[in-house]
Amino acid sequence: MVRLLILAACVAIASADVSFNVVGLRKVDTDEFGVMINGKVTKLRTSKEAYPLWSANVAGIDAPLQYQYVRLSKGGEVYKESKPRKLPVGAVHTPNEFFDRPDTLHKLPALPQVYENKLEQNSPFFREGYIGNLFLEGDAKAWSFINSGGAKWWDPKPINVKVHYVGANDNVKINNVKLELSGGQTRSYSKLPYKFHFPKDHSLLDIGVLKLRSAETDPTMMREKLYIDLLNTLGVPAPQAAYVRLFFNQKPVGLYVAEEEMKKHWLTTVLHPKNNGTRKTGSLWKMDADDGLQASLLWKGPTTSSYPVNHIYKNILPGNNPKDDVMRDLIKLMADIKNFDPKKEKDPIGYWEKRIDLDVFLKAMTMEYLAGFWDGYWTSASNYQMYNNPVTGLWTWLPIDYDDTFGSSYSGEPDSYRKFRMKHDSPLVKKLIMESPQIRARFEAILKDTVSYVFKPQALMPRISAYRDMILDDVKWDRSLPRLNKGESEGFTVEDLSKGVADGQKGEWGLKKWIVKRTEGVEKDLNFKVLPGTPSKVQPHVMTKLQSAYGITAKIETSSVSMGDEDRGTVVDGDDMVGGGDMEGGTSIQEDSASSFSIGHQTDKTTNSAMPLRSEWATFVAALALIALAL
């Protein structure tokens, strides 16, 4: 009798409450949402503050199991998602899922690590394999006004909005956020880019400035994301990126690639982590090209007045430079470039290792060449930042804005780096890579390593295919939406996503075609063969370390190490689900089991800190079972 009681207790404990959470947008004001498990629907709840996030606890859950979210009409109709989901073993809650998007967390094959990377960006905003949700609230006239600044090529003043971000385990609201148009040439398109400046005392999950890149010239919407992935494998400091759905006053705007902008907040949280014991920052510059001027780093005079400051050379942080000569330390570097003679300097590597992080620069140029980044420093003297790092005493190269890459708008065939077109004088490339044999040898070694390990079809295509599957439904959604501006459009459809991954069309390079051609070209040019398989050269690096989105204890999800299937929100065949179909009537509906509830997981910057430890319950249950068997 005692044995039976203990075994019964084990069964009761093994089944537990699970919190289900979904982003659901009403079609009419009376719509509600629920979760269907074994044919029974439990209503989810929301509030004015939480909407459109719905949540409820369901008692007696014994994972793994299948479930579906449903939309409930006032008339009693039950509209089910098109496909069921799977709750993994050990889950204590779901992530914040999106109604009728069958996958919530996507498994992305890891890329091989080529060089050491000591940086981390642990903001949950950058959770790998998850598409976030940004809901903006603001004045409709102000929103219309700022969007009119695109095609008309003027710069409207920023507007204030409320931001509601729903991430995998995050439910964050921030008031008084400054929103402005972002980008340059991309403002001429009907889908506009945006930039958010968060209050100093309330960043978004430790992000100070966030750019939403429209990816309007990229049929795949993944070139920027892939470029950042590759910079991470090379150990080049870079802003991280994530896909987000954007809404304004509950109306859909589109799918975006969200990137943190590298300003002071990024420096003090990523490049100079707070546990470093210092928040001191050096001078930070953003370089551009426009109106026939380029940020070439050519020396033109000893004082700031000789340079187009705040246009081509834009100062973000002054460092220790005086206000009346803010370019002083950058001009000194330009003078060193001018005075450097590759033919006479006996130790060119030593010369430059005292001034710049040489390897980071060479790795950045490796990526510019391999990806055909025609709008970067090498060919256009544009789209990069430089930081005078007070910790190392060296200038650090920071690449930015990688939309025109992997053959995008690239004319001609991929060729040797010796012939990689240089439209303007870029002296660091010319003097270091082209004219210095010692530095050129190091560049070629980095180039060989990069192609041998990671810039090759075997390493990149599995991840590209996973990105395609991850964003497919949202790209279809994005390209069906009306735009808010009367600018240009490439007219891409969802079919162009797959075409752009493969061979491309309309005179554009497909990702696979470009990568294959470039890999073969470098092999031939440098007379070597890439390594077989996809090994890493150094220990794999975890860029973003986060707890399981399902609250599974001792489970770590990473941005470079693949997640296990149990954390994917795996889709199973709809035929296996009881009561399949789009609409179902007569289903039993009940309220959630909790007497009180909270919406989502958190409303601050922390994540799942109070979630129950499922493994502790499992250990206790196992112990009880052993006792019962021993009796």
Residue 499 identity (one-letter amino acid)? K
Res 588: pLDDT: 55
The DSSP bridge pattern shows strands 53-61 and 16-23 to be antiparallel
CA 215/CA 230 separation, integer angstroms: 18
DSSP-based three-state secondary structure for 93: strand
The whole-number pLDDT of residue 421 equals 77
End-to-end CA distance of the chain: 10
- Of 356, 355, 395, 361, the closest CA to residue 378 belongs to 361
Predicted local confidence at residue 618, as pLDDT: 44
Cβ-contact 551, 615 below 8 angstroms: no
Kindly report, residue by residue over 594-631, the tens digit of the pLDDT: 333 334 444 433 333 333 334 444 444 444 444 444 55
Which amino acid belongs to residue 125? F
Residue with tokens 């400091």: 237
Q: Where are any strands of DSSP class E within 44-157?
A: 53-61, 65-72, 78-80, 85-87, 97-98, 132-137
Residue 569 to residue 66: CA distance in whole angstroms: 10
Residue with tokens 């409320």: 162
pLDDT digits (tens, 9 = 90+) for 122-137: 999 999 999 999 999 9
- The CA R_g of the chain, rounded to the nearest whole Å, is 27
Domains recognised in the chain with CATH numbers: 2-104+569-630 (2.60.40.10)
Alpha carbon 267 to chain centroid, angstroms: 18
For the chain, 631 residues long, the average pLDDT of each consecutive 10-residue run is 46 72 97 96 96 96 94 94 95 97 96 96 96 98 86 77 98 97 85 96 96 95 97 98 98 98 93 67 94 93 94 94 96 98 97 98 98 93 95 95 88 85 84 97 98 98 98 98 90 94 83 96 97 96 93 58 32 28 47 42 37 41 46 54
How many H-runs (helices) and E-runs (strands) does the chain carry? 14, 25
Burial of 623 (0-12, 13-18, 19+ CB in 10 A): exposed
Q: Are 215 and 221 in contact (CB under 8 A)?
A: yes
Query: Does residue 64 have a cis bond before it (omega within 30 degrees)?
Result: yes
Neighbouring CB atoms inside 10 A of 94's CB total 26
User: Residue 204: what pLDDT?
Assistant: 97
pLDDT at 152: 57
Structure-block tokens of residue 296:
């070439």
